[in-house]
Amino acid sequence: GQARPVEAREARQGQARPGKARQAKPSQAKARQGKAAHQRGPTDDIMEGDIFFCGPDRWGIHHVVLCCGEMTTADTEITEKIVRHHPELARETVLCCNTIECTRPFRGQDFPWYPAESVYVLRRATGELLLVGDIADGSLVLGITDQPVPVKILLHPFRSGRSDAPFDGGVFRAAMERCARESRRWSKGTALKAITARRSCLSADEYPDPDSRQELMEQLRRSWDKKPICSSVAIKVWQRYFEMLCPPGPKGLDLAAQHILRWMPVLSDRTAPSMLLKTLSTCGWMLRSSFSRSSAAGGA
């Protein structure tokens, strides 16, 4: 949803780019051992389905990344490599989290969307979260950013104690896998349409009955098939999740449309990152720009 969404990705990927450090990781077996040794970090309120907003870049645009799992403390080797290239972060906490995104210059090895283990730093003094690198899915190479990238997070409302509707991680992962398999490459045309779109969000008042909501679902499915921008990933996965969560048939489809109008009322091919953040902040999602070791889920 941004005109130049690659800026955050260019800064962090580091593949054949000047100023980027590429670090070889250990063998697959050692990498798995390191991941198993991860400990819960101070940002343990972050969970799959949350949405990262990285940046802004020099054009004032954020890059949207979907969280695919809990955030954990990085293993020693990753921490040492980050500190080696960013010694000013030596006293900070290094964290890892699986993510997926859509960006212009990079893609995954199996489909156009880009899955990775993203690496962050939590500043102890301010609670600010910074993106400092990533490891592409299927790779043993750590890319480190030239400069840490500020990160804000939208926490979804389906958390224990915050919503009567439980979060189904299995269905969410199935929706994410399906969307990734169906994914297409990032589109400049879609980005321009999102930036210039006049409509801000979908209103439940405009879909008062099952027939109108059925038409809405048809419109949403058409938008899912369009070439994406960075914000499309989170939108499509969450909307597909609501569809897969509901039973088959007309009643289930109508219920899915109602969930979408309540929790993700935007079009995946017409919504820029700034509009996504603005809209979801009014739909029960909680914006966080800082964390602390004592932060609890849903806390300020």
Which sequence spans correspond to the domains of the chain? 50-155, 169-280
Find residue 201's DSSP bridge partners: none
Would you state the pLDDT for residue 17?
30
Would you state the pLDDT for residue 49?
97
Helix (H) or strand (E) holding 119: strand 114-122
Query: pTM of the entire structure?
Result: 0.81
Query: pLDDT in tens for each of the 300 residues of the chain?
Result: 332 232 333 333 333 332 333 333 433 334 444 444 444 445 678 999 999 999 987 777 789 999 999 999 999 999 999 999 999 999 999 999 999 998 765 555 566 788 999 999 999 999 999 999 999 988 889 999 999 999 999 999 998 877 777 899 999 999 999 998 886 554 455 544 555 556 668 999 999 999 999 999 999 999 998 888 889 999 999 999 999 999 999 999 999 999 999 999 999 988 989 999 999 999 999 999 988 754 433 343
HSE, CB side, 13 Å, CA atoms: give it for residue 220: 28
Alpha carbons 15 and 46: distance in angstroms, whole number = 28
The set of residues, in sequence order, having a beta carbon less than 8 Å from that of 194 and lying 6+ positions away, is 1, 2, 229, 231, 269, 270, 271, 272, 275
Find residue 150's DSSP bridge partners: 130
Among residues 234, 140, 133, 124, which one has the least CA distance to residue 179?
Answer: 234
Would you state the pLDDT for residue 162?
74
Tokens of 192: 């321009």
Which of helix, strand or coil describes residue 263?
helix
